[in-house]
Amino acid sequence: MLVSDNLIELFHIGHQYQRPHWALSDVSLRVKKGDFVFLTGPSGSGKTTLLKIIFREIIPSEGQIVIEGVNILRIPDHGIYKLRRMMGIVFQDFRLLFHRPVFENVALPLQVLGVPPKEIRRRVFNALRMVNLQHKLGDPPAHLSYGEQQRVAIARAVVNAPKILLADEPTGNLDTELAFEIISLFREINKQGTTVLIGTHDKELIRHFGSKILFLQAGKLLGKDALPSPES
């Protein structure tokens, strides 16, 4: 079965925020179910843009993108929630509810699914323990340090054991030990079946954990050899 093998497929994706500059151009790639992929490249090369296209925050100017056999550009606005529910996302700018307790923030993806409160509590505690934040559970992110906020965002992304985990620079505000812990956590989740795609510029992390690596340079995908070429 071809569909079940390729979880995410991008076909000739190009994106222009503003003429004449192409933030991404002709990016084609496949991510298989169970992959653990690093997306790297210098500042401004298009990592965030590519991830935003995958969770359909941005509609690309060109190309098609298929996730689980569904062309996500064809999903109407009111149906996007189905796509989002199979993803956990760590945003580069966190996107937390700044003045609500950490607990509520992490519980959000479960609440929209209607998970019963007891189960929510169990899973949220679990996720917070994994990122070492169980003691900050009642504080709002506004009262946390940057690294702590980043870990809340990570906990929220993994709390629902999503099919796909997208993480944009998830360790930018963490010290090396913590960063390694977090990526190890992602690795574990990956072993339980989640496909993981991490945007990062941290070479050390990639060197240590890197299996498949996508390298972006000024909006173009290099190092395709790390992945089976979509044309092959």
Ligand X SMILES: Nc1ncnc2c1ncn2[C@@H]1O[C@H](COP(=O)(O)OP(=O)(O)OP(=O)(O)O)[C@@H](O)[C@H]1O
Residues in contact with ligand X by the rule CB under 6 A: 17-18, 23, 41, 43-49, 92, 143-148, 173, 201
Residue 84 binding a second copy, by CB under 8 A: no
Q: Which of Mg ion, another protein, ligand X, none does residue 108 bind (CB under 5 to 8 Å by kind)?
A: another protein
Could you tell me which stretch among 47-55, 78-86, 120-128, 148-156 binds Mg ion (CB under 5 A)? 47-55
Residue 143 binds a second copy (CB under 8 A): yes
CB of 58 to a second copy, least distance (A): 13
Distance, CA of 225 to CA of 215 (rounded, Å): 10
Task: At 34, list the tokens.
Answer: 């169970």
Using the minimum distance from each CB to a second copy, give the nearer residue, 67 or 179: 179
Among 3, 4, 5, 93, binds a second copy (CB under 8 A): 93
How would DSSP label each residue in 40-101?
E-STTSSHHHHHHHHTTSS--SEEEEEETTEEGGGS-GGGHHHHHHTEEEE-TT----TTS-
In this structure, the chain runs to a length of 232
- Alpha-carbon distance of 85 to 231, in angstroms, equals 30
81 binds, among a second copy, Mg ion, ligand X, none (CB under 5 to 8 A by kind): none
Q: Given the rule CB under 8 A, which residues bind another protein?
A: 55-57, 59, 77-78, 80-82, 84-85, 87, 89, 91, 95-98, 108-109, 112-113, 156
User: Is residue 48 within the footprint of Mg ion (CB under 5 A)?
Assistant: yes
Q: Is 151 helix (H, G, I), strand (E, B) or coil?
A: helix
28 sits near a second copy (criterion: CB under 8 A): no
Q: How far apart are CA 52 and CA 80, in angstroms?
A: 13
Neighbouring CB atoms inside 10 A of 223's CB total: 14
Closest approach, Cβ 3 to Mg ion, in A, equals: 30
Contact status, residue 181 vs residue 174, Cβ threshold 8 Å: no
Least separation in angstroms between residue 112's CB and another protein is 4
CB-nearer residue toward ligand X: 92 or 115: 92
**Of 10 and 107, which has the nearer Cβ to Mg ion?**
10
Which residues, 6 or more positions from 196, have their beta carbon under 8 angstroms from its beta carbon?
35, 36, 37, 164, 165, 167, 186, 187, 189, 190
203 binds, among Mg ion, a second copy, ligand X, none (CB under 5 to 8 A by kind): a second copy
Residue with tokens 């995410």: 8
Residues that bind a second copy (CB under 8 A): 17-18, 40-44, 47-48, 92-93, 143-148, 150-151, 169, 172-178, 201-204
